[in-house]
Structure 1
Amino acid sequence: MSDWQGFSPLNDFTGPLLDNLKRHPKRIVFPEGEDVRVLRVSERFVSEQAGVPILLGRKEIIRRMAEMNGISLKFVRIIEPEKSSDLQMFCDRYERAEQMFGNGLPMNTREIVSEPVHFAAMMVLYGQADAIVAGNMKRVASVFRAVNKYRQDPVPTKPLFAISIVMVPEFAKKFGGRGIYFLADTGVTADPTVENMAYFAVETAKMARHMLGKGVRVAMLSASTDGSVPELAADRTRAATALARSVVEKECLDNEITVEGEIQIDAALSPDSYSVRVHRTSMLQPSDVWVFPTLDAADISKKLICMMPSVCNYGLILGGLLFPIAQLPRLTDEDRMFGTALVVGNEAIKFHLLYPQGVAPLY
């Protein structure tokens, strides 16, 4: 596939990500490997020298699919979890973790761990892989249930959450910047608390900084700007803004992350709207991170944006976990899958390796 038919050209977001992986290749696990889209993405991943794809599934089926579609599996690793020599080791680790968290000894450990998402997670935890791209053949809820076992912190204020990354060229032309935005939470928590929103804001800002290689601006979105429409949801967003700022300051990131809120979306994007609504010095760049007050608002906004013909959409990138992982919808296309694999691959690269000078070369 020399011309990469079916793939769009790399853009201002995915181009630098691919360059990073060429310097620091990573191993990406695809738990649902029996999918021709995964095979095409894997072939390109290898050809671009971005790393090594690892497909979970039946070897015979995957090889037959590749042959029928003229896809090369050179340097693509295929593993059948049920037949893996590492399965027992992974089962032992899973049982120890369950007992440590007071969940008791599971009755069907082998069945659980041989499930592809669990097996992929164990591969990353044991250093056999670097990141995971899942969900292309599974329901969202089934992936969430599996990865919820691998949270960084079981504390309720630090739940699993989802980040969508959108690139909107029209916004870049109209408002400035690169038109790359990180949206949270777009997939998990229906009605986040103050603590949840602050956590989403700080962690999403860290990811945006990691991907963009520069300081980032966070917009805590609301129907109100600085109390212009007094109501409960705005009060919650205002409180979350204050908490997020305190966390950023405590972690000594205040020179890298700016948190503003509560703020309306037009003020977060447009310098003209910002100067009118916020009554402070005009912002130099639009906000990079958008934190929504509810899942309804996030989902509706994201889907409306993604209906624009030139928009590129990557993720969901799941946050709050022990390793980089993305959850794709079942109707995903190869462009989104490839771009999302680049994202989680970059997430697995240490910041100082990506940016030895402290910032991306572009900046």
Structure 2
Amino acid sequence: MGRSLFIQQIIDSAKLKQRSIVLPEGNDERVREAANTINQEGIATITLLGSEQAITEAFSSKGWSLEGITVIDPETSGKLQEYADAFYELRKAKGIKPEQALEAVKQANYFGMMIVQAGEADGLVSGAVHSTADTVRPALQIIKAAKRGATVSSFFLECVNDVPYIFSDCGLVEDPDADQLSQIAVQSANSAIQFGIPPMTAMLSYSTYGSASSPLVEKVQEATKLAKQRVADECPGKGIIVDGELQLDAAIVPEVAAKKAPESPLGGEARVLIFPDLNAGNISYKIVERMAGAEAFGPLLQGLNKPVNDLSRGCSVEDIVGVAAITVLQAF
């Protein structure tokens, strides 16, 4: 499947920004190929972590040039002790010892996060090999949340027939309460604005406007009220519209919306879909990707001080390229 018009526009925009991205999983073949593509197309300047010998030999065997790519082996890097000391300072209040800090930053994800934290790169993309937890944990420990005590969540950019949608949360917050769900909604609406997607935000449920009654429905109803208040307090004038609770068809099909929710300000044209929990979100994005042939990029993290993004371990080379370009734009 070729690139959608939307992701190509993101890539073209990233080329103009000339930012630097860390790819910590340089020992993975897909990541190496993605690094080559990103480098050749001028999407970003790449720092590739892993065995210098293995990466050099792999590039040579493919006839690819490493010119413009920085290759670092964390375990032999001259920056190792400096980063270990800095990580110790960040975490000593949590009881970490200097020798534990040193062992931690020998790991590629921790070393890569320290590069970003030090301002020596603009963002990081991982997850082709590592689990979401192994990507998010060092991000929370080193990059940290943008607002103290705030929820850090994730979203997917899902392109269906060249129409981009935000799906959230599909990769991180397992069972958000109403307050967390409202934060996720506002974060996702702001992420939509960042990528030129209309921030028409639907709080999804199996119920539309009280057509069913249960604690599950009540959570989404309360989250909708809180999200509307957050928009009014935190980001007025941005054009963010939040409505719910809505069934999916009432959220994205105008004809259905006219029957089920005629008073909805979304009018069946929601582009930001907020799922009530991780089960619903994760299953839904994979159904759309695998059965409808949509492009899916993510999980993309929101609510951090600097851009760090995750990948599915089933990702393709083009997925990595796309997420790297997205990360460049998040750096602004």
The Cα of 1:305 is off from its aligned counterpart by 0.8
TM-score (norm 2): 0.93
The Cα of 1:39 is off from its aligned counterpart by 1.9
Deviations 1:262-301 (A, max 9, x none): 1110011111111111122674672121111111111121
SS in 1 for 2:102: helix
Q: Retained in 2: the 8 A contact 1:274–1:282?
A: no
Deviations 1:117-144 (A, max 9, x none): 1111111111111111101122333223
Match of 1:342 in 2: 325
> Structure 1 CA distance, aligned partners of 2:255 and 2:273?
18
Deviations 1:219-261 (A, max 9, x none): 1100111111121111111111111111111123344211111
The Cα of 1:74 is off from its aligned counterpart by 2.1
The Cα of 1:189 is off from its aligned counterpart by 2.1
Match of 1:168 in 2: 160
Q: Retained in 2: the 8 A contact 1:271–1:282?
A: no
Q: Which amino acid aligns with 2:252?
A: L
Match of 1:151 in 2: 144
Match of 1:75 in 2: 68
Q: Which amino acid aligns with 2:46?
A: P
Summarize the alignment of residues 55-66 of structure 1 with structure 2, pairs less than 5 Å apart: 55-66=48-59
Deviations 1:92-127 (A, max 9, x none): 22122213xx31242411111121111111111111
Q: Retained in 2: the 8 A contact 1:30–1:133?
A: yes
Q: Does 1:331 align with 2:323?
A: no
Q: Does 1:103 align with 2:82?
A: no
Deviations 1:184-235 (A, max 9, x none): 11112221101110111111111111011x5411111001111111211111
Q: Which amino acid aligns with 2:25?
A: E
Q: Which runs of 5+ in 1 are unaligned?
A: 1-7, 170-177, 351-363
Match of 2:212 in 1: 229
Match of 1:357 in 2: none
> Structure 2 CA distance, aligned partners of 1:191 and 1:288?
22
Q: Does 1:199 align with 2:183?
A: yes
Q: Which amino acid aligns with 1:210?
A: Q
> Structure 2 CA distance, aligned partners of 1:322 and 1:115?
21
Please state which structure has a larger fraction of its residues in helix.
Answer: 2
Match of 1:5 in 2: none
Q: Retained in 2: the 8 A contact 1:220–1:260?
A: yes
SS in 2 for 1:266: helix
Q: Does 1:9 align with 2:2?
A: yes
Q: Which amino acid aligns with 1:306?
A: E
Q: What is the root-mean-square deviation in Å for CA atoms of aligned residues?
A: 1.9
Runs of 4+ in 1 over 6 A off after TM superposition: none
Q: Retained in 2: the 8 A contact 1:36–1:66?
A: no
Summarize the alignment of residues 37-48 of structure 1 with structure 2, pairs less than 5 Å apart: 37-48=30-41
> Structure 1 CA distance, aligned partners of 2:234 and 2:178?
19
Match of 1:245 in 2: 228
> Structure 2 CA distance, aligned partners of 1:311 and 1:74?
34
Q: Retained in 2: the 8 A contact 1:151–1:160?
A: no
The structure-2 alpha-carbon separation of the partners of 1:205 and 1:75, relative to structure 1 and needing over 3 Å to count, comes to: same
The Cα of 1:332 is off from its aligned counterpart by 1.2
Deviations 1:155-198 (A, max 9, x none): 65x333221111111xxxxxxxx521111111122211011101
Moved more, 298-307 or 275-284: 275-284
Q: Retained in 2: the 8 A contact 1:40–1:71?
A: no
Q: Retained in 1: the 8 A contact 2:44–2:325?
A: no
Match of 2:164 in 1: 180
The Cα of 1:69 is off from its aligned counterpart by 2.4
Aligned pair partner of 2:81 in 81, 88, 93: 88
Aligned pair partner of 1:33 in 26, 44, 47: 26
Q: Which amino acid aligns with 2:156?
A: S
TM-score (norm 1): 0.86
Q: Retained in 1: the 8 A contact 2:241–2:265?
A: no
Q: Which runs of 5+ in 2 are unaligned?
A: none
The Cα of 1:153 is off from its aligned counterpart by 5.5
